Structure 1
């Protein structure tokens, strides 16, 4: 991924500006047929408005944050319309995204371990340098590969290549030392095999996990690859839970100072500053109070329901990707409303696809093409 500023410019040129000319009233009405879309827009609007009651409110700062609302809304709209009306093009871009994750993992590992001792915690040599975000994006790409791209590949050589790519992505997740994305990935892979009734593969997967568990117990290098010290998550969450309890109905607003300090146990320990809650649910409650948290849970439940319908048709991929994101958001992340960031890939991507599926199911695929 390019730098943050360059990424914003790419988004303006390739997505936002064209969408303002191409999206019509019929398109927005088609999207409004989806309860997931309506729930998402309600949540994002509430978070945007919450900036007005922030203690540090200024109009300039609020406008800087408020522009994220049309960013995310247009991204979801374009994503939903493209996946419904141009499935072939959407598939090509999905394959490109997965391959980009594979190449970024290989490149980053080569560059990082050329200077760092093995098995130090892998840091990606891209704009997504945060290990947790990189692991979460890799997990999203891995699930899309295993349960969407791989089953759709008719040629044997392509299936072999995809399996090799899956190994790279899984290895990248493990080398980051990010425990929640790794566990969530393995849980979702197992669930996906159950949903697809691939019992033999599930048995092989279980044996493989048992062997890996044995290596983690007996092997120092393997244990170091995924083992880290205290991340102070519980202390961080306790601080933010107290702040939410002090302003439960409106929250502190989107412009609040979201930093907190945690003092480790020990006589000479110095306090550590953390920049955000490391939990999307707590962050949402901090900004918009319990109503915002309830909106997030309702939207997630509606999206999971639509994902389950797809799983019942033998297409569990977007259910799995969304479930994976919801699990990872328990231990990392903060803002749902933002300029292009990793969360657009691992959370808003499955939301957008499920919006398209729900709108097409309610109005029929012909409506999607007729409003093009």
Structure 2
């Protein structure tokens, strides 16, 4: 899948050209293998991101949020310690691996860009009121470093956000940019202009002269760079990512380098319905802005430069691959006002309800509307609403040849709940069909077929946590289909024995399911399951059911 992604193909070309440039680079005491390690690290980052999005896409947003919270806490601590030691002219460096203010500002800016993008994409007011002060803390940390580059980079990221998210918040964001820019210009003018251009123009002029010596092929990936701008010390970086690429691998290397950045932004724009694309592209724009006047290493080991380029690119590539494979959300979520909701559900028949009201409604046109109410506390559903999981899971299962309902629309209600509007599958639940069968032999044959279907799910890595006879449909053509798909995960390999056991335990909770499947027709279930599954899986199922029966008899 990676080899079909334009961003990764461009990375391969870029890395291959960089390694080829070792042929005309200066002799190096290091082994050739050590030169191949940095691009290998980066390619493994891309592969890891792809696998993470492919098989655990639901944890990406909680994972990023948790990382940002850790970064926020660390930044608050760094600011507190800095305030205790502050003297005029002092710049915040930070603790741990931070060894200079500029590198610290890259990481602070990375998380500031995250909180900024979260404030533009979050749907819950509580998350908005958390992201705004968090962003202010990270911005204060950037100001404390005294670095000007991240201010430019954040401005670019904010403009990109306003463009890709265009809504009412975009207008507010643009207004804040104008007011904030004026305020920073007044309060921190000395920080901005006091250090002049920090020899940037002199550095770039010297580097451009060196680039002109080998403009097309560069000096080689392992070439050294020494720049003396007249400041009394020499520098080893061109203080520009683009100039670094030109110096080391020339124009031929610059072409794929520019391509994978431009293509990533274009892909993010096309898939802006998915919030993760917005976050990742905002990081990339921030990195592009930061790379205008800083850096220069083209294929680096894992360090702070990864925050500016490789992490955003790897995430965008992974998202693009899985979006094309329909493993991510492909349809927009539409806000549904109370008035529109009442009009849609007028004369609807309640199919399922609980103490809080209807959960599943059959609308007048025959379609269904399933409601997922907002939880009081934050869960993974706060980041990935169950209505969206329903739509994504349904699409994935259909691609695997398993019939599922067709999603028509996704809605976000004013009270924070979500809803999925879908066409029902034509058929009856397996529980209803078994209830209507009077002949034991016919029921036994149907249970055997269900055992085979369940084994197919397990062998293909489908873990349907809510699997029971009420969520399996017998279609008009006799095939099985699945409904109520919000609580489902697809693994890269057949399910482990423990996951299969958990699936069975869930079905054993229902009295009728237990009687038909695990008492009256258990041998038929095992026989059907054994057509697809291994003997060890069948034996494990047998042991678990017997153990559960003995436990029930003991009670």
Same fold (TM > 0.5): yes
Distance 1:71 1:159, change over 3 A: same
Contact 2:238–2:295 (Cα < 8 Å) also in 1? yes
Match of 1:176 in 2: 145
Match of 2:250 in 1: 289
Query: How many Å apart are 1:207 and its aligned residue?
Result: 4.3
- What is the aligned counterpart of 1:343 among 300, 305, 316? 305
TM-score, normalised relative to structure 2: 0.55
Distance in 2 between the 1:247 and 1:325 partners?
Answer: 27
Query: How many Å apart are 1:119 and its aligned residue?
Result: 5.9
TM-score, normalised relative to structure 1: 0.80
What's the Cα RMSD here? 2.6
Match of 1:19 in 2: none
Match of 1:321 in 2: 283
Larger relative contact order (CA 8 Å, sep ≥ 6): 1
Distance 1:130 1:47, change over 3 A: farther
Query: How many Å apart are 1:203 and its aligned residue?
Result: 4.4
Query: How many Å apart are 1:312 and its aligned residue?
Result: 6.0
Gaps of 5+ in 1: 1-29, 265-270
Distance in 1 between the 2:171 and 2:117 partners?
Answer: 17
Match of 2:27 in 1: 56
Distance in 1 between the 2:227 and 2:270 partners?
Answer: 41
In the TM superposition, what whole-angstrom CA distance separates every residue of 1:332-356 from its partner, at most 9, and x where no partner exists? Answer: 1122312211122231122112111
- Matched residue count: 332
Distance 1:250 1:332, change over 3 A: same
Contact 1:233–1:331 (Cα < 8 Å) also in 2? yes
Are 1:75 and 2:45 matched, yes or no?
Answer: yes
Are 1:197 and 2:166 matched, yes or no?
Answer: yes
Query: How many Å apart are 1:371 and its aligned residue?
Result: 5.2
Are 1:260 and 2:227 matched, yes or no?
Answer: yes
Are 1:298 and 2:259 matched, yes or no?
Answer: yes
Query: How many Å apart are 1:262 and its aligned residue?
Result: 1.2
Distance 1:67 1:210, change over 3 A: closer
Higher helix share: 1
- What is the aligned counterpart of 2:110 among 140, 145, 148? 140
Query: How many Å apart are 1:81 and its aligned residue?
Result: 1.8
Match of 2:523 in 1: none
Partner-residue secondary structure (3-state), 1:321: helix
Query: How many Å apart are 1:183 and its aligned residue?
Result: 2.0
Match of 2:362 in 1: none
Match of 2:94 in 1: 124
Are 1:66 and 2:36 matched, yes or no?
Answer: yes
Query: How many Å apart are 1:134 and its aligned residue?
Result: 2.3
Query: How many Å apart are 1:168 and its aligned residue?
Result: 0.6
Partner-residue secondary structure (3-state), 1:261: coil
Distance in 2 between the 1:358 and 1:215 partners?
Answer: 39
Higher strand share: 2
Query: How many Å apart are 1:53 and its aligned residue?
Result: 2.1
Query: How many Å apart are 1:210 and its aligned residue?
Result: 4.0
Partner-residue secondary structure (3-state), 2:271: helix
Match of 1:20 in 2: none
Distance 1:134 1:72, change over 3 A: same
Contact 1:259–1:273 (Cα < 8 Å) also in 2? yes
Match of 1:273 in 2: 234
Contact 1:36–1:302 (Cα < 8 Å) also in 2? yes
Contact 1:33–1:362 (Cα < 8 Å) also in 2? no
Are 1:100 and 2:70 matched, yes or no?
Answer: yes
In the TM superposition, what whole-angstrom CA distance separates every residue of 1:166-225 from its partner, at most 9, and x where no partner exists? Answer: 1111111222222221122123223313432333x4444444444444444544xx3344
